[in-house]
Amino acid sequence: MRAVRFHEFGGPEHLRVEQLPDPQPDGEHVLIRVTRAGVSPLDDKVRAGVLPSSMRKPLPLVPGASAVGRVTDPGGSGYAPGTRVLLCGWGYGTKTDGTWREVLAVPPTHLVAIPDGVTDDEAAALVAGSGYLTAWLALTRVVPLRPGQVVLAPGIHGAVASAAAQVAPVLGAAQVISTARGADRATAIPHDDKLTVIDLGRETLAEGVARVTGGSGVDIVLDPLGGDITGPALGTLRSGGTLVSIGYTAGTKATIDVTDLIWKTVKIAGFLFTAFTQQEIADTYRTLLEQLATRALKPAVDRIYPLEQAADAQRRVVEDRPPGRVFLDPTGTDHQNRPDTKGATT
């Protein structure tokens, strides 16, 4: 089979398409032929050598944390050959070789069947970057959202914020607020009256939230950025609110005003996928797929690249930060290297 690998850390130019042996049936794993493999900022961090050795396998490594495909050998799983499935396990592209290849062998507990009416592209966009999973778990398990509450999720072009813009209203939020920098990026995301995107090139986060909420602030912050966003985001919380720290693409160090914690009795909670069992993850994806089938969720697709253009796909995600998910197509049949966000709200 063809697979993308790198043998040393560095830039995207280290990615190579290589021939590897096909995984063989063993009666325990399910073999799937990958139709879409997600490309996310995590893949870039792994290739650049940012992650500690304890969090990744020795090189060479096949990147890719997410995928959808079709079952070719079900093993003892009970799946029928040809069943379309979504990969929902963890460690791919870090602890073990990832999804940027033609064929995968995975435990059956790492798969969820894709319902009729949901396309491969839609399912792949749902799982790529784990934004929908993160937003759903954060707003149902970490800080259960109550109907009528207001959610702030900075960075609308990121996987978490763009997903939260759809997930929070499904769960009953009255308003979702996000951010971008520059009028073109602030208006690039189609949205309804429940989403407001603050242009940080025109006003501060505090000013924007005060304007949108009439000075009352927000109930929950989902913070996928960290760095210099965390402090101001914490300051937008109303009394008793909670900030959920999810990521640190803007930096691992943050400065906060402790009076925000004391005077408003707000809280900071951390989010980590290992706090949830594999069964909980799979069940959540089944719920998300149901929401996707009814069009309550509409994940956006940006571009689809062949395996041979994996480096271009990574650059697209990291440098351009598009308003939609980016995939690799290992099948060699659908190289849609073009924007495709029609019908999407984030």
Q: Which residues of 215-241 are buried (b: 16+ CB within 10 A; e: fewer)?
A: eebbbbbbbbbbbebbebbbbbbbeeb
List the helix and strand counts (H, then E) for the chain.
10, 15
Least confident of 62-71, 227-236, 244-253: 244-253
pLDDT number for residue 55: 87
Q: How confident is the model at residue 342 (pLDDT cuts 50, 70, 90)?
A: very low
| Residue-wise pLDDT tens digits, 188-215 | 676 678 999 999 999 999 999 999 999 9
In whole numbers, what is the pLDDT of the chain averaged over residues? 92
Q: What are the start-end ranges of the H helices in 172-294?
A: 183-186, 205-213, 230-235, 258-263, 278-293
What SS3 class is residue 139? helix
**H or E element: which one contains 80?**
none
On whether the CB atoms of residues 152 and 177 are closer than 8 A, the answer is: yes
49, 125, 215, 224, 325 from 44: Cα distances, Å: 9, 18, 39, 17, 15
CA–CA distance, 149 with 113 (Å, rounded to integer): 33
pLDDT number for residue 336: 52
Q: Please state the rounded mean pLDDT for residues 229-256.
A: 94
pLDDT number for residue 184: 76
What SS3 class is residue 317? helix
pLDDT at 340 over 50: no
Q: Please state the rounded mean pLDDT for residues 232-252.
A: 94
pLDDT number for residue 346: 33
pLDDT at 131 over 70: yes
Rounded percentage of the chain residues whose pLDDT exceeds 90 = 80
Q: Please state the rounded mean pLDDT for residues 246-251.
A: 88
User: If 0-12 CB within 10 Å is exposed, 13-18 middle and 19+ buried, where does residue 327 land?
Assistant: buried
Q: Please state the rounded mean pLDDT for residues 271-296.
A: 94
| Closest by Cα among 225, 191, 36 to 119 | 36
| Residue-wise pLDDT tens digits, 113-123 | 999 999 999 99
The total of other beta-carbon atoms located within 10 Å of residue 62's CB is 21
pLDDT number for residue 186: 72
Q: How confident is the model at residue 345 (pLDDT cuts 50, 70, 90)?
A: very low
Rounded percentage of the chain residues whose pLDDT exceeds 70 = 95
On whether the CB atoms of residues 212 and 201 are closer than 8 A, the answer is: no
Least confident of 35-49, 94-108, 182-196, 276-290: 182-196
pLDDT number for residue 90: 86
Strands 218-223 and 237-245: what pairing? parallel
Q: How confident is the model at residue 316 (pLDDT cuts 50, 70, 90)?
A: very high
| Residue-wise pLDDT tens digits, 147-172 | 999 999 999 988 899 999 999 999 99
345's tokens: 């709200």
pLDDT number for residue 335: 52
pLDDT number for residue 127: 94
pLDDT number for residue 324: 87
User: If 0-12 CB within 10 Å is exposed, 13-18 middle and 19+ buried, where does residue 343 land?
Assistant: exposed
Q: How confident is the model at residue 137 (pLDDT cuts 50, 70, 90)?
A: very high
pLDDT at 112 over 50: yes
223's tokens: 């913070």
